[in-house]
Structures are given as structure tokens and as C-alpha cells.
Copies of this chain bind each other. A is one copy, B any other.
Amino acid sequence: MIGLGRMGGNMTQRLLAGGHHIVAYDPDEQARLSVVNAGAIEATSIDELVFHLSPPRAVWVMVPAGDVTDETIGTLSAKLTVGDTIIDGGNSNYKDTIRRAADVGDLGLTMLDVGTSGGVWGLTEGYSLMIGGDAEAYSRLEPIFQTLAPGASIGYGHVGPSGAGHFVKMVHNGIEYGMMQAFAEGFELMEAKHDLELDLAQIAHIWRYGSVVRSWLLDLTAAALDEDGSLEGIQAYVEDSGEGRWTVEESIDLAVPIPVIAASLQARFRSRQDSPFGAKLLAAMRNQFGGHSVRKSE
């Protein structure tokens, strides 16, 4: 395991608890220690990590998408030997994955791309794993996936060639954006209906059982509202982590309309804006044609 951040660290813990032997590397010593304490073998460099493993090796790379992944796989693939397998479990763009799989394939290595969902809860509940790449390597390493998944025969699968795992994960996150936004809109509407004085946490809990919208995201919504029903302590500022953007870009490449996912992404962008130029221009236009008063800035 290379990369012992929130995701990589938790996965290592889950694998160790499942009886697997793990050699773990992260440039941060503290991150290494926490898994060493749980039974992992420490490697202080990629060289050392490779040295500790016997062929056919399997190296799970769990580092931030982008350049870091390129560097890590580049360094790693130079040290591995024919028949070894690199697993990219990060949120890589599937197009990068296809390119990287071809590159490492030229060296006689195989690659698996694992779209991983589950967040911080994966440690205890298991991860949903969408796996692309070499079918033989997948079969050999299935015990790993069985341990990481929520159950021995559920929540994971080989979905296609290299890139397929990350593609499916990308779409998964696009759907996630849409579902989250649907809940956000519904709860906002109920919050805005002041005369009914609805208890949003109560409603979330009612819906958790028997309703059509019951879902894990609703469970989390209920938990968040339990903590702070008014959400007063939280800023209306929503980040995005890339997969939603890629999903919209993919939809453009495929000429498939995805109005809900695109609107969800835009709602996040909008949440980060303060006083956007476009709205100012609308107010200015109305003033021009109708003499409608504009609110002057102070």
C-alpha cells in the first residue's frame, strides 16, 4: 500500500483486520506508524516496499489523482518485474488510467483501476469497489477485494477493461451529486415553508424507513440534522473533487444530456460565488430597459 491518508490508511486497517499481510509506505512517518501499530510492515521508500514483496507483487497506490499518481506509478513501474500488478485505487480520470495501463503494460506489468466508494465509513462497513483492468490479475487478487468490500460476495466486481473502474466511479459520483442536490433542494424548500414549522431532522428520520427516498445519503442527512438542525454553524460553501466535472465533460463527448448532474455541479460552483457578475448585469439590464431600480452596492 502506497499512500496512507484517510482512504489508504483505513483500507490498510481493514485489510490487516482481514488477515492480509501488508507492506505500507507513505512519506509521512506518523501515517506509517498508525498502520504499523495495526500489523503492517513498514517501508520507508518505494524501493524498500518493492523489496519486501515477492513476485507476483501487487501494489495498491492510494494517492491524490493527477501528477502524484503519474509520478508514483512511474517510479514504481521502473522497480517492478514482469507479472507484477499495480492497483490504482484513487479517483483518477479514466482517460489517464487507460494511458497509464498501456504504459505499464509495455513493461510487462498489469494494472487494475479500482473505483472506491464508501468514504470514512468504509473502514467499518466496507467499500464499494468497481474494478477495471486485467482479468487474470483481478482473479488472483480477488481475496483483497473481498476483504475490502462489505461482504465476501457483494459490493465489488470486475466491470471491464482498464479505465472501466474509474469510469464507473466517475459516473457514480455524478449520480451522487444529483442525489445530494435533490435532497438539498427538498430540505431547503421545507425550511423555507416557515408557517409549517417543520422539524427537518424528524422528517429525515421518518423517511429513512419505508419511503421511496430511503438511502444512505438520507441517513447521513438525518445525522447531520441531528447534530445541528438549523445548520447555522456551517457555511453555504460546497467544494467539488473533480469527478462531477469529468462526468459533465464526458456527457458532452458522448452528446448525452444530463441536466440534473450538470445542474448539481453548477449549484456547487454557485455556492462559492459572492456577488456574481452575471447577476449584476441582469440588474443593470433591467434598469436600462425598464427603469427598474437596482440595489446600489455600498
Residue contact B119 to A209, C-beta cutoff 8 Å: no
User: How far apart are the CA atoms of A249 and B262 in the complex, in Å?
Assistant: 11
Interface presence of A257 (CB below 8 A): yes
Q: Which residues of B contact A93 (CB under 8 A)?
A: none
Q: Which residues of B contact A122 (CB under 8 A)?
A: 210
Q: Which residues of B contact A8 (CB under 8 A)?
A: none
Report the nearest B residue to A183, measured CB to CB.
Answer: B175
Which residue from B167, B184, B289 sits with its C-beta under 8 Å from A281?
B184
Residue contact A277 to B178, C-beta cutoff 8 Å: no
Within the complex, what minimum Cβ distance (angstroms) separates A116 from chain B? 9
Q: Which of A227, A248, A287, A290 has most chain B Cβ within 10 Å? A: A290
| Category for how many chain A residues contact B | 35 or more
Q: Which residues of B contact A272 (CB under 8 A)?
A: 255
Interface presence of A197 (CB below 8 A): yes
Within the complex, what minimum Cβ distance (angstroms) separates A240 from chain B? 8
Residue contact B181 to A211, C-beta cutoff 8 Å: no
Q: Does more than half of chain A's interface fall in helix, strand or loop, or is it mixed?
A: helix
Question: Contacts A182-B179, A269-B257 known; A280 to B128 CB distance under 8 Å?
Answer: no
Residue contact A155 to B206, C-beta cutoff 8 Å: yes
Which residue from B214, B249, B267, B294 sits with its C-beta under 8 Å from A252?
B249
Which residue from B130, B180, B212 sits with its C-beta under 8 Å from A119?
B212
Residue contact A295 to B235, C-beta cutoff 8 Å: yes
Residue contact A210 to B259, C-beta cutoff 8 Å: no
Residue contact A210 to B120, C-beta cutoff 8 Å: no
Question: Contacts A212-B117, A254-B189 known; A224 to B287 CB distance under 8 Å?
Answer: yes
Q: Which of A33-41, A78-86, A104-112, A146-154 contacts B (4 or more CB under 8 A)?
A: A146-154
User: How far apart are the CA atoms of A296 and B234 in the complex, in Å?
Assistant: 5
Within the complex, what minimum Cβ distance (angstroms) separates A72 from chain B? 22
Within the complex, what minimum Cβ distance (angstroms) separates A159 from chain B? 6
Question: Contacts A120-B291, A280-B236, A294-B235 known; A150 to B210 CB distance under 8 Å?
Answer: yes
Question: Contacts A159-B206, A172-B213, A174-B185 known; A221 to B281 CB distance under 8 Å?
Answer: yes
User: Which chain A residues (213-233) contact chain B, with CB distance < 8 Å?
Assistant: 213-218, 220-221, 223-225, 227-228, 231-233
A168-B198, A181-B282, A239-B292 provided; 18 other pairs, C-beta below 8 A?
A: A117-B207, A126-B209, A129-B210, A156-B206, A176-B213, A182-B260, A182-B264, A183-B285, A185-B260, A189-B258, A225-B284, A233-B296, A233-B297, A235-B295, A238-B283, A245-B252, A248-B248, A258-B266
The 8 closest A-B pairs by CB, nearest first: A178-B182, A215-B215, A155-B209, A128-B211, A188-B278, A184-B278, A236-B279, A235-B295
5 sample A-B contacts, Cβ–Cβ < 8 Å, listed by A number: A174-B186, A180-B286, A185-B257, A224-B285, A233-B296
